Structure 1
Amino acid sequence: MNILIAPDSFKGSLSALQAGNIIKNAFIEVIPDANLDVVPMADGGEGTLDTLLFVTGGKRLHLEVTGPLQKKVGVEFGILGDNKTIVIEIAKIAGLPMVAVDQQNPLETTTYGIGEVIKACCEKGYRDFIIGLGGSATNDGGLGMLQALGVSFLDKNKQPVLPIGRSVSQIEHVDFSTIQPDIKECKIQIASDVDNPLCGDNGATAVFGPQKGATPDMVEKLDRALSKYATLIENHLNKTYQFNKGAGAAGGLGFAFLLLGAEITSGAKLMAESTKLVDKIKAANWVITGEGQSDFQTLFGKVPGYIGKIAEVNNVKALLLSGSLGKGYEELYQYFISCDSIANGPISLQHCMEHAEDLLFKKAYNLARLLKGLDEKDKKILEGSVSR
Structure 2
Amino acid sequence: MKLLFASDSFKGTLSSDQTIELLTKAAHEVFGDCETSGVPVADGGEGTTEAVVKARNGEMVNVDVHGPLMETEHGFYGRLSDTEAILEMAAASGLPMVPEEKRNPLNTTTYGTGELLKAALDAGYKEIAIAIGGSATNDGGMGFASALGIKFFDKDGNVLEGKGSDLIKVEHIDISGLDPKAKDAHFTVMCDVTNPLCGPDGATYTFGKQKGGTPEILDELEKGMQNYRDVIKKEFGIDVDTIQGSGAAGGLGAALKVFLDAEMKSGIETVLDLIDFEGRLEGVDVVVTGEGRTDWQSCFGKVMQGIGDRSKKHGVPVAALCGSLGRDYDKIYAHGISSIMTTVDGPMPLKDALDNAEDLYYKGAVRMFRFLKAGMEMKK
With structure 1 as the length reference, what TM-score do the two structures score? 0.93
Number of the residue aligned with 1:359: 360
Q: Which one-letter code corresponds to 1:62 in the other structure?
A: N
Please tell me whether the aligned partners of residues 45 and 192 of structure 1 are also in contact (alpha carbons under 8 angstroms): no
Deviation at 1:311, TM superposition (A): 2.6
Distance in structure 1 (CA, Å) of the matches to 2:26 and 2:179: 51
Number of the residue aligned with 1:337: 338
Write the deviation string for residues 92-123 of structure 1: whole angstroms up to 9, x where unpaired: 11111111122221111111011112223323
Please tell me whether the aligned partners of residues 15 and 47 of structure 1 are also in contact (alpha carbons under 8 angstroms): no
1:219 aligns with 2:186: no
Q: Which one-letter code corresponds to 2:198 in the other structure?
A: C
Structure 2 SS opposite 1:65:
strand
1:206 aligns with 2:208: no
Distance in structure 2 (CA, Å) of the matches to 1:76 and 1:117: 7
Please tell me whether the aligned partners of residues 78 and 87 of structure 1 are also in contact (alpha carbons under 8 angstroms): yes
With 362-371 and 346-355 compared, the bigger mean Cα shift is at 346-355
Write the deviation string for residues 10-61 of structure 1: whole angstroms up to 9, x where unpaired: 1222222222222222212222312112111111112211111111111011
Distance in structure 1 (CA, Å) of the matches to 2:82 and 2:353: 39
Structure 2 SS opposite 1:234:
helix
Number of the residue aligned with 1:165: 164
Q: Which one-letter code corresponds to 1:251 in the other structure?
A: G
Distance in structure 1 (CA, Å) of the matches to 2:353 and 2:206: 27
Distance in structure 2 (CA, Å) of the matches to 1:154 and 1:173: 5
Please tell me whether the aligned partners of residues 76 and 116 of structure 2 are also in contact (alpha carbons under 8 angstroms): no
Deviation at 1:269, TM superposition (A): 0.9
Structure 2 SS opposite 1:199:
coil
Deviation at 1:139, TM superposition (A): 1.0
Deviation at 1:373, TM superposition (A): 2.2
Distance in structure 2 (CA, Å) of the matches to 1:283 and 1:188: 33
For residues 367-378 of structure 1, what are the structure 2 equivalents within 5 Å?
367-378=368-379
Distance in structure 1 (CA, Å) of the matches to 2:121 and 2:333: 46
Please tell me whether the aligned partners of residues 75 and 116 of structure 2 are also in contact (alpha carbons under 8 angstroms): no
Number of the residue aligned with 1:30: 30
With 276-285 and 84-93 compared, the bigger mean Cα shift is at 276-285
Number of the residue aligned with 1:385: none
In structure 1, the gaps of 5 or more residues are 382-388
Please tell me whether the aligned partners of residues 83 and 124 of structure 2 are also in contact (alpha carbons under 8 angstroms): no
Please tell me whether the aligned partners of residues 290 and 320 of structure 2 are also in contact (alpha carbons under 8 angstroms): yes
Structure 1 SS opposite 2:368:
helix
Please tell me whether the aligned partners of residues 205 and 219 of structure 1 are also in contact (alpha carbons under 8 angstroms): yes
Distance in structure 2 (CA, Å) of the matches to 1:194 and 1:144: 21
Distance in structure 2 (CA, Å) of the matches to 1:126 and 1:276: 20
Distance in structure 1 (CA, Å) of the matches to 2:330 and 2:28: 30
| Same amino acid, percent of matched pairs | 38
Distance in structure 2 (CA, Å) of the matches to 1:55 and 1:116: 25
Deviation at 1:194, TM superposition (A): 1.9
Distance in structure 2 (CA, Å) of the matches to 1:180 and 1:289: 41
Distance in structure 1 (CA, Å) of the matches to 2:205 and 2:324: 27
Task: Evaluate the alpha carbon distance shift between residue 350 and residue 83 of structure 1 in structure 2; reply closer, same or farther with a 3 A threshold.
Answer: farther
Number of the residue aligned with 2:279: 279
1:122 aligns with 2:121: yes
Q: Which one-letter code corresponds to 1:96 in the other structure?
A: L
Deviation at 1:238, TM superposition (A): 2.0
Structure 1 SS opposite 2:176:
helix
Write the deviation string for residues 167-226 of structure 1: whole angstroms up to 9, x where unpaired: 111212211122222211111111122222222222222221111111122222212311
In structure 2, the gaps of 5 or more residues are none
For residues 1-388 of structure 1, what are the structure 2 equivalents within 5 Å?
1-80=1-80, 82-259=81-258, 260-281=260-281, 283-334=283-334, 335-378=336-379, 381=380
Structure 2 SS opposite 1:120:
helix
Please tell me whether the aligned partners of residues 9 and 46 of structure 1 are also in contact (alpha carbons under 8 angstroms): no
Aligned-residue RMSD, C-alpha:
1.7
Write the deviation string for residues 330-359 of structure 1: whole angstroms up to 9, x where unpaired: 212333222222222222333323322221
Deviation at 1:64, TM superposition (A): 1.0
Structure 1 SS opposite 2:241:
coil
Distance in structure 2 (CA, Å) of the matches to 1:28 and 1:103: 49
Please tell me whether the aligned partners of residues 63 and 119 of structure 2 are also in contact (alpha carbons under 8 angstroms): no
Distance in structure 2 (CA, Å) of the matches to 1:221 and 1:250: 18
Q: Which one-letter code corresponds to 2:121 in the other structure?
A: C
Write the deviation string for residues 226-257 of structure 1: whole angstroms up to 9, x where unpaired: 12202212321223333322212111111111
Task: Evaluate the alpha carbon distance shift between residue 156 and residue 350 of structure 1 in structure 2; reply closer, same or farther with a 3 A threshold.
Answer: farther
With structure 2 as the length reference, what TM-score do the two structures score? 0.94
Deviation at 1:282, TM superposition (A): 5.2
Task: Evaluate the alpha carbon distance shift between residue 28 and residue 224 of structure 1 in structure 2; reply closer, same or farther with a 3 A threshold.
Answer: farther
Please tell me whether the aligned partners of residues 16 and 47 of structure 1 are also in contact (alpha carbons under 8 angstroms): no
